[in-house]
Structure 1
Amino acid sequence: MKETVTADPVLAPAPGAEQHLALDFANSAVVLPGGQFADLLGTPAAARRWLIERDLAPAELELLEMCTAQLRSLREQIRALLASRADGLPAPAPALAAVNEALTGAPAAALLHWDPTRGLYRAASHPTTQIVAHASAVLAADAADLLTGPDAERLTACGSAPCGRYLLRHGRRHWCSTRCGDRARAARAYARRTAQAETD
């Protein structure tokens, strides 16, 4: 059973996450050593911090759990698209629908409203929802650009189990971090020693 940690893990961004916000977003659910799990969108406060640190929301943003759940749901759909692309499989229809909905879900302008005392006026119907919709549209657009652009060929999942992060491959490197690379090399060395001991 995975234990969820509440503190932010200190991990360097996976290769490509600095160029593609969608990779950073997809990797905001992190499997840590020792069966621990960190979700950087796990609570409204954590999701608020994640959005503000990436200039996707103003500092005064207050998030509701409903909005945080929408972000986590979009993250899972983007992860499904990244997984299908990395594995060379067809894109799942629900994931495509979710990303397309996020792409079109943010109004480009303040909407027109009517009030008997004010008359016609323009405003967002719910400012927090509009901020989350805008952030979702930005993340979905970056995911679409990544999945259809030249970097899509380098997209891969980290090759060190149980890590679930995605990265853009550089040369032969298939790990998201030094920590994962060391773990993968240690596992290979252990497997070699075990196989040799069995043949002796």
Structure 2
Amino acid sequence: MDETVAEEPDLPSAPGAEQYPSLDLANSAVVLPGGRSVDLLAAPAQANRWLTERGLAPVDAGMREMCATQLRVLREQIRSLFASHVAALPALPAALTAVNDALTKVPTAPLLQWDDEDGPYRVTPHPVTEIVDHALATLASDAADLLTGPDAARLTACGSTPCNRYLLRHGRRHWCSTRCGDRARAARAYARRAQAGGS
């Protein structure tokens, strides 16, 4: 039985997650051994904290469930794009659309405004209601940069079951953490012993 736990897992960031916030976002829902999982964006307060820790929202943004849901939806679409890239499969159109929608929802240039007394002026809007849109656009842009940049060839999925995190591979390392590497090596050793015992 799957069990979602409230506390954050005792896992270091996966290689590359500190460089690419979109990779960190993709890894914000973690599957742990024993059927446990952790969602760092499960509630609005957690989503607000996650964005704040990455400089994408102020502490007092007042995140609502709708905003946290938007962040979780973008996470799943980015995960879908990462999975397609890692497996060398075509991307799902819905995932591309979601990332492109996030990219285009926020203006990239100051907009022209008009004040009745002072006339025209330009300003980049960033009211509280648009904080999440800006965060989503930043994360979507980061995912696009990762998938089209020089590090794209290093993007891989953790090779330790049941872990579902992504990382940037360094050499032959295919694990997101030492813990996952140890678990994968132990599973291989157990399989070899079982095969040798059954022969």
Question: Aligned-pair distance for 1:9?
Answer: 1.4
Alignment of 1:123-162 (within 5 A): 127-162=127-162
Question: Aligned-pair distance for 1:60?
Answer: 1.3
- Across the aligned residues of Structure 1 and Structure 2, the Cα RMSD in angstroms comes to 2.1
Alpha-carbon distance in 1 for matches of 2:145, 2:180: 27
Match of 2:196 in 1: 196
Report % sequence identity: 65
Question: Aligned-pair distance for 1:34?
Answer: 1.7
Match of 2:66 in 1: 66
Alpha-carbon distance in 1 for matches of 2:35, 2:128: 35
Alpha-carbon distance in 1 for matches of 2:9, 2:78: 21
Tell me which amino acid in the other structure corresponds to 1:55.
G
Question: Aligned-pair distance for 1:140?
Answer: 0.4
Match of 2:106 in 1: 106
Secondary structure at the counterpart of residue 82 of structure 1: helix
Question: Aligned-pair distance for 1:112?
Answer: 4.7
Match of 1:92 in 2: 92
Secondary structure at the counterpart of residue 182 of structure 2: helix
CA separation of 1:158/1:50 partners in 2, compared to 1, >3 Å: closer, same or farther? Answer: same
Alpha-carbon distance in 2 for matches of 1:177, 1:34: 17
Alpha-carbon distance in 1 for matches of 2:186, 2:178: 12
When normalised by structure 1's length, the TM-score is: 0.91
Question: Aligned-pair distance for 1:123?
Answer: 8.9
Alpha-carbon distance in 1 for matches of 2:112, 2:189: 61
Alpha-carbon distance in 2 for matches of 1:40, 1:189: 33
Flag structure 1 segments of 5+ consecutive residues without an equivalent.
none
Alpha-carbon distance in 2 for matches of 1:4, 1:110: 44
CA separation of 1:84/1:191 partners in 2, compared to 1, >3 Å: closer, same or farther? Answer: same
Question: Aligned-pair distance for 1:129?
Answer: 3.3
When normalised by structure 2's length, the TM-score is: 0.91
Is the Cα contact below 8 Å between 1:154 and 1:168 reproduced in 2? yes
